[in-house]
Amino acid sequence: MSTPRTIIEKLWDSHVVAERPGAPSLIYIDLHLVHEVTSPQAFAGLRARGLKVRRPQNTFATTDHSTPTTPRSLPIVDPIAKAQVERLESNCEEFGIPYFGFQSPHQGIVHVIGPENGLTQPGMTVVCGDSHTATHGAFGALAFGIGTSEVEMVLATQCLLQRKSKTYEVRVDGALKPGVTAKDIILALIARIGVGGGTGCVFEYRGQAISALSMEERMTVCNMSIEGGARAGLIAPDDKTYQFLAGKPFAPKGAEWDAAVERWKRLPTDAGATYDHTITMDANTLEPMITFGTNPGMGMPVSGVVPDPASLSDPLERDSLAKALRYMDLTPGKPLAGQPVNVVFVGSCTNSRMSDLRAAAGVLKGRKVSPKVRMMVVPGSMEIKRQAEAEGLDKVFREAGADWREAGCSMCIAMNGDQLQPGEYSVSTSNRNFEGRQGKGGRTFLASPLTAAASAIAGVVTDARKL
Tally of CB atoms within 10 A around 390? 9
With vertex at residue 357, the alpha carbon angle to CA 355 and CA 361, rounded to the nearest 5 degrees, is 115
CA distance linking residue 234 with residue 203, whole number of Å: 6
Tally of CB atoms within 10 A around 1? 5
Binders of other proteins among residues 63 to 102 (CB under 8 A) are 65-66, 78, 80-81, 83-84, 87, 98
Binders of other proteins among residues 191 to 220 (CB under 8 A) are 195-196, 199-200
CA distance linking residue 398 with residue 102, whole number of Å: 24
Backbone phi, then psi, for 108, in 5-degree steps?
A: 175, -175
Binders of other proteins among residues 9 to 28 (CB under 8 A) are 14, 17-18, 22-24, 26, 28
Binders of other proteins among residues 107 to 166 (CB under 8 A) are 117, 119, 121, 123-124, 129-131, 145-150, 152-153, 156-161, 163
CA distance linking residue 267 with residue 130, whole number of Å: 25
Give me the least distance between CB of 413 and other proteins, in Å please: 5
Is the distance from CB of 30 to CB of 58 less than 8 angstroms? yes
Is the distance from CB of 348 to CB of 109 less than 8 angstroms? yes
Residue 421 within binding range of other proteins, rule CB under 8 A: no
Give me the least distance between CB of 283 and other proteins, in Å please: 27
Binders of other proteins among residues 290 to 309 (CB under 8 A) are 295, 297
Interface stretch with other proteins, choices 183-191, 223-231, 355-363, 379-387 (CB under 8 A): 223-231
Binders of other proteins among residues 335 to 394 (CB under 8 A) are none
Q: Which of 112, 300, 306, 415 binds other proteins (CB under 8 A)?
A: 415
Binding mask 237-266 for other proteins (x = CB under 8 A): ------------xx--x------x--x---
Q: Which is nearer to other proteins, 183 or 437 (CB)?
A: 437
Is the distance from CB of 444 to CB of 462 less than 8 angstroms? no
Residue 231 within binding range of other proteins, rule CB under 8 A: yes
Is the distance from CB of 131 to CB of 431 less than 8 angstroms? no
Q: Which of 49, 239, 366, 390 binds other proteins (CB under 8 A)?
A: 49
Q: How many helices (DSSP H) and strands (DSSP E) are in the chain?
A: 15, 19
Q: Which is nearer to other proteins, 220 or 431 (CB)?
A: 431
CA distance linking residue 365 with residue 379, whole number of Å: 18
Residue 37 within binding range of other proteins, rule CB under 8 A: yes
Is the distance from CB of 288 to CB of 178 less than 8 angstroms? no
Q: Which is nearer to other proteins, 19 or 389 (CB)?
A: 19
